Amino acid sequence: MKRMAIVLAAGQGKRMKSKLYKVLHPVCGKPMVGHVLDAALRAGVERSVVVVGHGAEAVQSFLGSRAEYVLQAEQLGTGHAVKQVKSLLGSESGSTIVVCGDTPLVTSETLEGLMKLHESRGAAATVLTAELDNPKGYGRVIRGEDGSVQRIVEQKDCTEQEDAVNEINTGTYCFDNAKLFAALEKVTNQNAQGEYYLTDVVGIFRNDGEVVEAYMSDDIAESIGVNDRLALSQAEAFMRERLAVRHMLNGVTIIDPASTYIGADVTIGSDTVLYPGTILKGMTTIGEACHIGPQADIEDSIIQDGVTIKHSVLSQAEVGSEATVGPFAYLRPGTKLGRNVKIGDFVEVKNATIDEGSKVSHLSYIGDAKVGKNVNVGCGAITVNYDGYNKAVTTIEDDAFVGSNVNLIAPVTVGKGAYVVAGSTVTHSVPDNDLAIARPRQENKPGYAEKIRGRAKAKKQNAKPE
């Protein structure tokens, strides 16, 4: 049986009070609509259609070719939104899940369970429900004496008795696709909101003698629909906990989950330890047996096995196995470190390759550079890569030694096994195995320091009082 998904993402979200469209607000680093679509795709749907409205271009730009799109130009209710999909899915046979783009905590496991129950019972509709202690704001699921779903009543249309019901509609459904679009033709807007409710389809099915089932989620968090910043923070908290649990069950040690942030798309190998204050964002990949943190901020980076990173910031960087970074290092985009490289305290690296076994231990800047194997870069060394107009490349070849406080004025090459003396400013390439000295010759003036002190003392004594 063919499986399809409709993601409702047309609302502006006025209660968010934001210029960013509601479904694009991130939860653990990923826009909400991305969480929802990914869950549907992992559940095995073959076609996904996203209903867009406000911020249509931005939503499409983010989701790209992973889905098809239809425009709901006027927001006239959820039933009206789904009806816009008829031109794409109206002629299809199979099961269709409908899920809101602002429910980022819904899981692929739940969606798959929803579809399986729906198909096994031959239902026209199956509603994903949950039980809440405080169901205010949610549509209520009204059941008959036999426990079957009779109808769904929106909060504003509830009677006093219906308002007391604790089982709520999460806004996620599975439908027989052909029956869904047939029933939508019968939906009216005769209600308190003057909108076309998708929930009215349930009552239509019941009147037609169709089977309507309910699948209750065992995770209340999946029912959270984000309409304001408070709900957004709640969704973030639930997602953070869920992600931390998943990684710990996969063999990752998180010393203090409450102070550790892990993005939704981050992958981490077993036996890695995350220390407090660690922030992992974007498409970051951490290998096995790494020690990350404390206070490490890593985004869109690849970290190989056995790496140690302390008190450092990495962005779009690659770190080879057994390397050490920090404390207080900054690896900027384009940084690629080989195996067993050492980057020490207060070192900044940008758009540079540093090969196996090389060391940049402290207080240095390596930018737009190619550093070979087993190179030592001394304290305070700088690749001077920018002349105010253009950037140039510095090359330091295998086994070279660059002393402390050396300025390498790019473009320049330090050859294999070459030695650059501390304090030098190098403007010409250094051939293999040569020694470069580029600093003024030292001159000592006997007794001159005492003369300087004497002059200073006399000047002070002759100074007029204020």
> Would you list which residues are annotated within the binding site for Mg(2+)?
102, 227
Give the whole-angstrom CA distance, residue 318 versus residue 398.
Answer: 20
**Residues annotated within a binding site for UDP-N-acetyl-alpha-D-glucosamine:** 8-11, 22, 72, 77-78, 139, 154, 169, 227, 332, 350, 365, 376
Number of neighbours of residue 437 by Cβ within 10 angstroms: 13
Cα–Cα–Cα angle for 421, 425, 429, rounded to 5 degrees: 85
Tokens for 243, please give them.
Answer: 């992600």
Distance in Å from the first CA to the final CA of the chain = 96
Give the whole-angstrom CA distance, residue 190 versus residue 111.
Answer: 31
The CA distances from residue 94 to 2, 49, 118, 173, 207, in Å, are 5, 15, 11, 14, 22
Give the whole-angstrom CA distance, residue 198 versus residue 80.
Answer: 8
Q: Is 370 helix (H, G, I), strand (E, B) or coil?
A: strand
Contact 278, 293 (CB under 8 A): yes
Tokens for 35, please give them.
Answer: 């969480």
**Residues annotated within a binding site for acetyl-CoA:** 385-386, 404, 422, 439
Type of residue numbered 64: G
**Residues annotated within a binding site:** 8-11, 22, 72, 77-78, 102, 139, 154, 169, 227, 332, 350, 365, 376, 385-386, 404, 422, 439
Give the whole-angstrom CA distance, residue 423 versus residue 128.
Answer: 70
Contact 251, 274 (CB under 8 A): no
Tokens for 156, please give them.
Answer: 């504003």
**Selected catalytic residue, list 35, 311, 362, 428:** 362
To the query of whether residue 291 is one of the catalytic residues in this protein, the response is no
The CA distances from residue 100 to 18, 61, 105, 326, 428, in Å, are 19, 19, 11, 43, 63
Q: Which residues are the active-site residues?
A: 362
